Amino acid sequence: MTDLYCVFGNPIAHSKSPAIHSAFAAATSQDLRYEARLAPLDGFAASVAEFVAGGGRGANVTVPFKEEAFRLCTRRSARAELAGAVNTLNFADGEIVGDNTDGAGLVRDIVANLGVALAGRRVLLLGAGGAARGVIEPLLGERPQSLTIANRSADKAELLAEIFQKNASTVNATVNGGNYEKLAGHRFDVVINATSASLAGASLPLPPDLFAAGSLAYDMMYGKGETPFLALARSQGAARSADGLGMLVEQAAEAFRLWRGVRPVTAGVLANLRATLAA
Ligand code: ATR
């Protein structure tokens, strides 16, 4: 029997996850169907219950339900606990088991796909909302020299730095938090945008000279052309840039591995998605 998976979100019509997982399934000869499901804003739990009752085996969760998914789980992985959000659900034996593959996807895209090591590097994370929080533990797992979290509201960045300095499983790095002004005079090797500023048409107030020689600017967002953050980073001297399409594919591959026990090869799927996006 074909196993059923889905992604829950609102909106969900333009999700690329069904195409990504269908390609993974074909490439690994896994008998599964993966569909997009629109959950009402006040009906996430009911949508999950309906899906499980209909034989659903697992699901991804996207905006705006990742925190609600976290609360719905009967069990969670350690990285999901630290992320405070869940993007992957596994339904088995009456349990809802939650994980978060976003950070692993980001790290894999940077390290494996882009070939940029994080170990020993100065990493700057812009933003202190759910998207930022979800990737901190896996970033620290790479043992950077330092992880700096900068945010418009300094208190949120300071709180995240404190939480992860205390609780992350590997903290060999210095973890700092503060506002954008505090970045003045500091340089970074990898700068990751986890804010939603560009959705509001806003530009981040980054001080000049933020980008060290050879640095990578990474935007967790993606779109048809260059994102506003990557354009800003290029104008301020970032040597390399990448948007979040690779992270999207890699978080999906990690979810697929959790469900099916086989890790799909991602390069072809990413190249096809990139071509579709550019068309
Ligand atoms: P997400 O789940 O996408 O992280 P979120 O939790 O609402 O959404 O967080 C949004 C992030 O983008 C926050 O870091 C937010 O900064 P504040 O905590 O100061 O609100 C950041 N952000 C959103 N709009 C911004 C803007 N115009 N300028 C700077 N930062 C912005």
SS3 for 130?
helix
Q: What domains are defined for the chain? A: 3-100+246-278 (3.40.50.10860), 103-243 (3.40.50.720)
Active site residues: 66
Long-range CB contacts (within 8 A, 24+) of 108-113? 108/250, 108/253, 108/254, 109/242, 109/244, 109/246, 109/247, 109/249, 109/250, 110/190, 110/216, 110/218, 110/242, 111/142, 113/246, 113/250, 113/266, 113/267, 113/270
What residues are in contact with ligand 1 under a 6 Å CB criterion?
A: 127-132, 151-153, 156, 195-197, 200, 202, 204
From CA 156, how far away is CA 161, in angstroms rounded?
A: 9
Indicate if the pLDDT at residue 170 is higher than 80.
Answer: no
Return the best residue to mutate from 125, 153, 192, 195 for the ligand 1 pocket (most ligand atoms within 8 A of CB): 195
Average pLDDT for the chain = 96
What is the distance in A from the centroid of ligand 1 to the CA of 78?
A: 25
Whether the model clears a pTM of 0.75, i.e. scores above it, the answer is yes
Indicate if the pLDDT at residue 248 is higher than 80.
Answer: yes
Indicate if the pLDDT at residue 267 is higher than 80.
Answer: yes
Q: What's the rounded mean pLDDT across residues 23-34?
A: 98
Indicate if the pLDDT at residue 24 is higher than 80.
Answer: yes
230: its two tokens: 């990557």
The predicted pLDDT at position 279 comes to 84
